[in-house]
């Protein structure tokens, strides 16, 4: 069975391996080579999973667990290279990318979401079960969802408001402690704060008499 490592490595505590395949190295390979390499890596990954599982069962240390990550990275790189080639081919032949189309939809909580389109055996309007929550008295128009969405928006707004106030207060404190500091840099650091307004406030005044 090819699911096990070579017998030499069974009692090894440190197995040295090379690095993973890089994108540029894979780009110059032919499709046939990539196909073969994919299966080599797939077998290697299965082997590593098997050995790791057995090590965990027997409460042993699995030597060099980063091997799994290296193989996985190589496999991901192969996939991106193949995808690049596929997109190039489809653009040349059909003018489209050939990727799965993505649509912006509202999910059942009323939040915007990316949806990867897929094939169905009946169209949407015929699918009575799917269409139910989107009807006039469906779930998506219910009070619960509206309330959730309102509170969610409020929470988001509060975060922005708090950040604004926090920055304004911080600028006031800075002006109090360092009245002669570089205003342009302060403006660059806090672009949303009205510095002239912050200067005029009571908090920005220090506990000292004005110089002039």
Q: Min. distance of Cβ 152 from other proteins in angstroms?
A: 24
> H-helix or E-strand containing 103?
strand 102-106
Q: Min. distance of Cβ 52 from other proteins in angstroms?
A: 8
CB 132 within 8 A of CB 163: no
Q: Which long-range contacts (CB under 8 A, 24 or more apart) does 92-101 make?
A: none
Q: What is the C-alpha to C-alpha distance for residues 210 and 60, in angstroms, rounded to an integer?
A: 73
Q: What is the C-alpha to C-alpha distance for residues 71 and 175, in angstroms, rounded to an integer?
A: 55
Q: Min. distance of Cβ 61 from other proteins in angstroms?
A: 10
In the bound state with other proteins, the residue whose beta carbon lies nearer, of 63 and 179, is 63
* Interface with other proteins (CB under 8 A): 1-4, 10-11, 13, 39, 42-43, 46, 49-51, 53-54, 57-58, 60
> H-helix or E-strand containing 115?
strand 112-116
Q: Min. distance of Cβ 51 from other proteins in angstroms?
A: 7
In the bound state with other proteins, the residue whose beta carbon lies nearer, of 49 and 109, is 49
In the bound state with other proteins, the residue whose beta carbon lies nearer, of 61 and 143, is 61
């Amino acid at each position: 069975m090819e699911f096990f490592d070579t017998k030499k490595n069974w009692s090894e505590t440190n197995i040295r391996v090379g690095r993973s395949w890089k994108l540029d190295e894979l780009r110059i390979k032919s499709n046939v080579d990539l196909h073969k390499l994919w299966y080599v890596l797939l077998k290697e990954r299965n082997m590593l999973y098997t050995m790791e599982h057995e090590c965990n069962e027997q409460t042993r240390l699995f030597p060099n667990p980063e091997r799994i990550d290296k193989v996985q990275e190589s496999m991901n790189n192969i996939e991106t290279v193949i995808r690049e080639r596929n997109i190039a081919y489809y653009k040349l032949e059909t003018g489209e990318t050939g990727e799965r189309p993505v649509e912006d939809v509202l999910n059942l909580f009323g939040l915007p979401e990316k949806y990867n389109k897929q094939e169905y055996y009946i169209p949407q309007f015929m699918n009575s079960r799917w269409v139910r929550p989107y009807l006039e008295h469906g779930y998506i128009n219910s009070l619960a969802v509206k309330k959730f969405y309102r509170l969610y928006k409020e929470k988001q707004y509060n975060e922005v408001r708090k950040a604004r106030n926090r920055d304004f207060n911080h600028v006031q404190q800075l002006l109090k402690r360092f009245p002669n500091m570089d205003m342009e840099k302060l403006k660059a650091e806090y672009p949303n704060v009205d510095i002239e307004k912050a200067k005029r406030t009571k908090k920005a005044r220090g506990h000292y008499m004005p110089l002039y």
